[in-house]
């Protein structure tokens, strides 16, 4: 059986057709312009593809509450044309198939849980550090939504000693995203993160903030694995720094077998950038099951 998947991002929409083994059979990337331009182009791709259902892993904030009148909407995004846009409804109307819907980061986590490095885990955390910072959470085998969905990129952080940077988040200044996102690095150091690879000071500070956030997530969410993705995490030198600082900042308070094996606890995404789109396919599979489609 075939399933459609969309990784809906602020700059591009990746649309795929995949199967129950997580194999991606066809893919197209469509730039994110206005909904009026972008949605019909995506629908054109999926029409006639014989997909049983569609999964959308979407940038947010989004409404995931199935009881809500605005379920399936993108809500208060700074991308004005997409604000209060009924993305699930748009596809439902045109394709007339079940639609699974979740955050982009829950999608990436679901990809890793289903086909990647978190396959044996029921409690896991996926953090993306890119243009923004966000996190997907699975607890007891369920993706966490709650009142809205977690917004892990906006936890408050304590500035490093002597760091007077005001932060890049328009809402909170020095939250995690405000201090450690790609644009925050660029703003603070006056160069693209990519061009700062050789500057150790940058990655010392970056890993300090990422480790601080991870410590908060360890004590609040108790994940069995923490997966780090997003453009900034292409700087692989960050991993050993983050692992060391996480253990240092936890300061022996928590001592589990997972933390003793920190190299396999804080890990890079394992699906070569396809974790989000594979998760979207899994969302489609779940939606088909839920709708009683024989798969």
What does the DSSP 8-state code read for residue 290? H
Peptide bond connecting 100 to the previous residue in cis, omega within 30 degrees of 0 = no
Residue 189 lies near ligand ADP (rule: CB under 6 A): no
Q: What's the Cα-to-Cα distance from 287 to each of 5, 53, 59, 102, 280, rounded to whole Å?
A: 12, 7, 19, 11, 11
Contact yes or no for 266/228 (Cβ under 8 A): yes
Nearer of residues 86 and 187 to ligand ADP, judged by Cβ: 187
Query: In the bound complex, what is the minimum distance in angstroms from residue 117's beta carbon to ligand ADP?
Result: 18
With CB under 5 A as the contact rule, the residue among 56, 105, 152, 175 that binds Zn ion is 175
At residue 80, the 3 state secondary structure works out as helix
Q: Which of 65, 183, 259, 289 binds ligand ADP (CB under 6 A)?
A: 183
Report if residue 131 touches ligand ADP, rule: CB under 6 A.
yes
Q: How many residues bind ligand ADP (CB under 6 A)?
A: 16
Q: Does 118 bind ligand ADP (CB under 6 A)?
A: no
How many CB atoms within 10 Å of residue 127? Answer: 27
CB 110 within 8 A of CB 56: no
Q: How far is the CB of 211 from ligand ADP (least distance, A)?
A: 17
Select from ligand ADP, Zn ion, none the partner in contact with residue 172, using the beta carbon and a kind-dependent cut-off of 5 to 8 Å. Answer: Zn ion
> Taken in order 200, 203, 208, 214, is the CA torsion positive or negative?
negative
Spatial distance between the Cα atoms of 120 and 133, rounded to a whole number of angstroms:
25
11 binds, among ligand ADP, Zn ion, none (CB under 5 to 8 A by kind): ligand ADP
Which of positions 222-281 make contact with ligand ADP (CB under 6 A)?
A: 230-232, 234-235
Residue 171 found at the interface with Zn ion (CB under 5 A): yes
CA-to-CA dists, residue 180 to 153, 156, 157, 245, 294, angstroms: 9, 12, 10, 15, 45
Site for ligand ADP contains 11 (CB under 6 A): yes
Q: Is 156 in the site for ligand ADP (CB under 6 A)?
A: no
Bridge partners, residue 24, by sequence = 18
The residue among 99 and 157 lying less far from Zn ion, judged by its C-beta, is 157
Chain contacts with ligand ADP (rule: CB under 6 A): 9, 11, 128, 130-132, 182-183, 192-194, 230-232, 234-235
């Amino acid at each position: 059986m075939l399933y459609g998947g969309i990784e809906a991002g602020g700059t591009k929409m990746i649309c795929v057709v995949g199967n129950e083994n997580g194999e991606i059979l066809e893919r197209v990337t469509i730039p994110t312009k206005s909904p009026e331009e972008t949605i019909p182009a995506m629908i054109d791709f999926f029409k006639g593809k014989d997909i049983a259902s569609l999964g959308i892993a979407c940038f947010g904030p989004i409404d995931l509450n199935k009881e809500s009148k605005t379920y399936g909407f993108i809500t208060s995004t700074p991308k004005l044309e997409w604000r209060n846009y009924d993305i699930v409804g748009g596809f439902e109307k045109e394709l007339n198939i079940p639609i699974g819907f979740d955050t982009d980061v829950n999608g990436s986590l679901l990809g890793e849980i289903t086909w990647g490095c978190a396959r044996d885990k029921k409690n896991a955390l996926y953090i993306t550090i890119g243009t923004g910072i966000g996190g997907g959470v699975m607890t007891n085998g369920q993706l966490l939504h709650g009142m809205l969905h977690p917004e892990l990129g906006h936890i408050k952080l304590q500035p490093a000693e002597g760091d007077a940077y005001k932060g890049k988040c328009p809402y909170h200044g020095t939250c995690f995203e405000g201090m450690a996102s790609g644009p925050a690095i660029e703003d603070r150091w006056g160069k693209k993160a990519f061009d700062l690879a050789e500057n150790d000071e940058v990655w010392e500070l970056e890993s300090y903030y990422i480790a601080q956030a991870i410590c908060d997530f360890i004590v609040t969410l108790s994940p069995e694995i923490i997966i780090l993705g997003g453009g900034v995490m292409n700087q692989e030198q960050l991993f050993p720094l983050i692992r060391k600082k996480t253990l240092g900042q936890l300061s022996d308070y928590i001592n589990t077998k997972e933390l003793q094996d920190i190299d396999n606890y804080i890990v890079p995404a394992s699906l070569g950038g396809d974790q989000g789109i594979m998760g979207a396919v899994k969302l489609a599979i779940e939606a088909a099951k839920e709708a009683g489609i024989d798969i």
